[in-house]
C-alpha cells in the first residue's frame, strides 16, 4: 500500500510495451522528470498527470488510486488488465502506424487535441517574467511544442494515406501548435536562439543551406531553433546570421542581455 509499489507496477507495464521514458513522455505530454517521480513514488502526482498516464496506457480512470491502496499492486494491475484489455490512445512514438479504417485516425486526432489542451494548461502556469526560471520554463514548453508538432505531422501523413476526413483537422492542429511555438519564442526576443529561429523563418534559404552557412548539422539546427542550444564553435556565425537577416528586415539588433545595439 504505497505510491512506490503503484509506480513500480506502472513502470513494469510501460516496460512490457518496450516504451522508454521518452516514449512515455511523448505519449502522455508529461515531462520525463514527472513520469520518473511517479514511477519511483517520489512525489504525489497531480491528478492531471495520473489521468494522462492512465489514458496513454489505456487503463480505466481511477486505476492508479486502486494500485496505491492495494496490498499487491502488481496483482491488482493484472486484475484491471484482465477485466479491461488496454487500448492506448496514441501510437508508440517513432513506430510505424498502419491505418485500415478511417475511424482509426480519430484516435490520432484526439491525441493531437489532447496535446494542445495540455500545452495550453502548461502555458497558463508560466512563472512571472521577473523570475529566474521564466525563460527556461518557456524553452521547455517550446521543446514540448516541437515534439507535439512532429507527432501531429506523422498523424497527418497517416490520415492522408487513409484518405480520412480528419486530415484537414490534423493540419489545423499542426498550425495551431506552430503558432503556439512562435508565440512562446516571441516572449523571449532577446534570446539568440529565438532571434536565429526568426531569421530562419524570414530567410528564403533552405534550412539545409543555412546549416552549412553557420557550420552545424540539421539536428543541431533543430536544437538551436527549438531549445536555444548553440554549439560553442558556431556561436559567432549563428549570431551573425541572425543579426544580418533580422536587420535586413528592419529589426533593431539586440544583444543577449536584451539591450538594443545602435
Residue 258, pLDDT above cutoff 50: no
* pLDDT tens digits, one per residue of 9-31: 999 888 888 888 877 888 888 88
Residue 20 belongs to a domain: yes
* pLDDT tens digits, one per residue of 38-66: 988 888 888 888 988 988 888 888 888 88
* pLDDT tens digits, one per residue of 101-145: 444 566 677 777 777 777 787 787 777 776 767 777 787 788 888
Residue 76, pLDDT above cutoff 80: yes
For residue 98, give the nearest of 34, 154, 148 by alpha carbon.
154
Grid coordinates representing 26 are 511523448
Measured CA to CA, the distance from residue 254 to residue 244 in angstroms comes to 12
Measured CA to CA, the distance from residue 142 to residue 39 in angstroms comes to 25
Give the residue numbers spanning the domain of 77. Answer: 3-83
Q: How many domains does the chain have?
A: 3
Residue 197 belongs to a domain: yes
Give whole-number Cα distances, 32 to 21, 37, 187, 206, 217, in Å.
6, 9, 25, 33, 26
Residue 229 belongs to a domain: yes
Most confident of 150-164, 168-182, 204-218: 204-218
Give whole-number Cα distances, 59 to 2, 38, 90, 119, 120, in Å.
19, 16, 13, 22, 24
What is the reported pLDDT for 10? 92
Residue 96 belongs to a domain: no
The enclosing domain of 35 has a CATH number of 1.10.260.40
Supply the mean pLDDT for the chain: 78
The pTM of this model reads 0.42
> Are 162 and 202 contained in the same domain?
no
Amino acid at each position: 500500500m504505497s505510491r512506490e509499489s503503484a509506480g513500480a507496477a506502472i513502470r513494469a507495464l510501460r516496460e512490457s510495451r518496450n516504451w522508454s521514458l521518452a516514449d512515455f513522455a511523448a505519449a502522455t505530454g508529461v515531462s520525463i522528470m514527472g513520469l520518473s517521480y511517479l514511477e519511483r513514488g517520489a512525489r504525489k502526482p497531480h491528478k492531471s498527470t495520473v489521468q494522462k498516464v492512465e489514458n496513454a496506457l489505456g487503463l480505466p480512470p481511477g486505476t492508479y488510486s486502486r494500485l496505491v491502496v492495494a496490498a499487491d499492486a502488481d496483482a491488482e494491475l493484472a486484475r484491471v488488465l484482465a477485466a479491461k484489455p488496454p487500448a492506448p490512445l496514441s501510437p508508440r512514438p517513432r513506430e510505424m502506424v498502419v491505418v485500415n479504417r478511417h475511424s482509426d485516425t480519430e484516435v490520432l486526432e484526439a491525441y493531437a487535441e489532447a496535446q494542445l489542451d495540455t500545452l495550453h494548461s502548461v502555458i497558463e502556469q508560466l512563472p512571472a517574467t521577473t523570475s529566474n526560471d521564466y525563460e527556461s520554463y518557456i524553452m521547455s514548453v517550446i521543446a514540448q511544442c516541437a515534439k507535439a508538432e512532429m507527432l501531429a505531422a506523422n498523424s497527418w501523413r497517416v490520415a492522408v494515406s487513409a484518405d480520412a476526413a480528419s486530415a484537414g483537422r490534423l493540419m489545423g492542429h499542426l498550425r495551431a501548435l506552430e503558432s503556439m511555438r512562435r508565440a512562446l519564442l516571441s516572449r523571449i526576443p532577446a534570446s539568440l536562439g529565438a532571434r536565429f529561429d526568426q531569421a530562419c523563418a524570414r530567410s528564403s534559404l533552405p534550412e539545409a543551406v543555412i546549416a552549412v552557412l553557420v557550420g552545424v548539422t540539421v539536428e543541431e539546427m533543430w536544437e538551436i531553433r527549438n531549445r536555444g542550444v548553440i554549439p560553442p564553435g558556431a556561436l559567432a556565425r549563428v549570431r551573425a546570421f541572425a543579426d544580418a537577416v533580422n536587420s535586413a528586415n528592419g529589426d533593431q539588433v539586440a544583444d543577449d542581455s536584451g539591450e538594443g545595439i545602435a
